Amino acid sequence: MYEFIEGEFFEKSPAHLIVRADHLAYYIHISVHTYSQISNQSNGRIYLHFIVREDAQILYGFSNREEREIFKSLISVSGVGANTARLILSSLSPEEVTQAILAGNVVVLQGIKGIGAKSAQRIIVDLKDKVGKGAGIDELFFSQDNTSHEEALSALVALGFPKKTVEKILTRILSEQPDLSVEEIVKTALKFM
């Protein structure tokens, strides 16, 4: 829903940021990594992720898209909420999180407060394919077909197909035919189900 906000950094702390933009001030939860990136700035751009819960509407902010994408990947893992993902990104840089996942390094993830062995293993198992396969982090998160991939994935999962199966099929389809529309991707994927 929200891509980014630009404005004056009215108040900063390692856990939150208040950005003033067009006569409004926004309270944004941030990681220590983001804080370290913006600590010397008085204004700038913060990439956002908006979460709506039954009892709250919360903005999470990131100094760059890479960190936001890792955050979104982390919260997609069962048992990892937004605050846990923020804690992970406060303890490790986005690059360190990616390397720990690719290397299957349970010990690094388990070293973060609140992350046990089972949670660390689940993060690695669920995300290794997303950050692996030899793709650079930029290719993974900013490829042109990422939006089409995500929309097609969402549609097929909503139809009741298992997420991991759908992801494998979509990866194969998009590697062979990267210029397909979302509708064409879904129709092609249904032929393989």
> Among candidates 90, 93, 140, 94, which has minimal Cα distance to 115?
90
Q: How many domains does the chain have?
A: 3
CA atoms within 13 A on the CB side of 139: 8
The SS3 assignment for 60 reads strand
State the pLDDT confidence band at 146, using cuts at 50, 70 and 90: low
Residues 145, 141, 172, 180, Cα dihedral to 10°: 0
Same domain for 123 and 147: no
- 109: its two tokens: 């993830």
Same domain for 58 and 21: yes
Same domain for 58 and 83: no
Environment class of residue 72 by beta-carbon count within 10 Å: exposed (0-12), middle (13-18) or buried (19+)?
middle
The SS3 assignment for 97 reads helix
State the pLDDT confidence band at 106, using cuts at 50, 70 and 90: very high
Same domain for 124 and 108: yes
138, part of any domain: no
What pLDDT is recorded for position 132? 52
Q: Would you list the DSSP string of 155-169?
A: HHHHTT--HHHHHHH
Q: Which residues pair with 46 in a beta bridge?
A: 5
Out of 133, 164, 182, pick the residue that ends a domain: 133
Same domain for 104 and 77: yes
Average pLDDT, the chain: 87
Same domain for 125 and 73: yes
d(CA 37, CA 144): 27
Same domain for 128 and 70: yes
178 phi, psi to nearest 5 deg: -70, -15
Domain harbouring 9, CATH code: 2.40.50.140
- Asked whether the whole model's pTM tops 0.85, one would answer no
56 phi, psi to nearest 5 deg: -160, 155
Name which residue leads in pLDDT, 68 or 146.
68
Domain harbouring 164, CATH code: 1.10.8.10
Name which residue leads in pLDDT, 142 or 124.
124
Name which residue leads in pLDDT, 70 or 179.
70
- What average pLDDT score do residues 46-64 get? 95
Same domain for 37 and 56: yes
Query: Considering only 71-75, 126-130, 153-157, 169-173, which range has the smallest mean pLDDT?
Result: 153-157
State the pLDDT confidence band at 130, using cuts at 50, 70 and 90: confident
Name which residue leads in pLDDT, 81 or 160.
81
What pLDDT is recorded for position 12? 93
The parent domain of residue 153 ranges over 143-192
C-beta separation of 48 from 64 below 8 A: no
- What average pLDDT score do residues 157-179 get? 84
